[in-house]
Amino acid sequence: MRKVWLVGILVIVLVIVGSYTAMAVKEENDVLKIPAGKYVTEKDVELWLEEGLPIDEAKKIIESTNNNTMPPLISMDDIKRWKEKGVSENSINRILLTIGKGRLPNYDPEVAEKFYANAWKLPTPLSGNQVNACMETRSYSATRGVKGYMDPGSLYISSDQYLNLITSHLGSPDPDTGTDYWTEVGIMRWIDLGNVYKAFTYDNDEGKWDYIGDVQNTAHSYWIGVGPYDESYGQYSYLIYFDNYFARSGHLPFTLHQANVCQEVWSYSTYIESSERNLFYNLNLLTLSGSWYQWDSSTSTNWYEIYPCQITENDYSPELWIEYT
Whether omega for the bond prior to residue 105 falls within 30 degrees of 0, making it cis, is no
Look at residue 274 and tell me whether its pLDDT is greater than 80.
no
Higher-confidence residue of 162 and 235: namely 235
CA pair distance 226, 235, nearest whole angstrom: 10
pLDDT at 207: 78
Domain 109-322: state its class.
mainly beta
At 26, the pLDDT band (50, 70, 90 cuts) reads very low
Give me the half-sphere count of Cα atoms (radius 13 Å) on the Cβ side of residue 187.
26
pLDDT tens readout for residues 244-255: 999 999 999 999
Give the DSSP per-residue string, 206-254: TTEEEEEEEE-SS-EEEEEEEEEEETTTTEEEEEEEETTEEEEEEEES-
Pick from 282, 294, 279, 305: which is nearest to 166 by CA?
A: 279
Domain boundaries, the chain: 2-99, 109-322
pLDDT tens readout for residues 175-202: 999 999 999 999 999 988 888 999 999 9
Positive or negative: CA dihedral 123, 72, 223, 196: positive
pLDDT at 32: 60
pLDDT at 79: 97
Share of the chain above pLDDT 90, in %: 62
Mean pLDDT of the chain: 86
CA pair distance 155, 132, nearest whole angstrom: 13
In 3-state terms, what secondary structure has residue 115?
A: helix
Query: Which amino acid is residue 297, in one-letter code?
Result: S
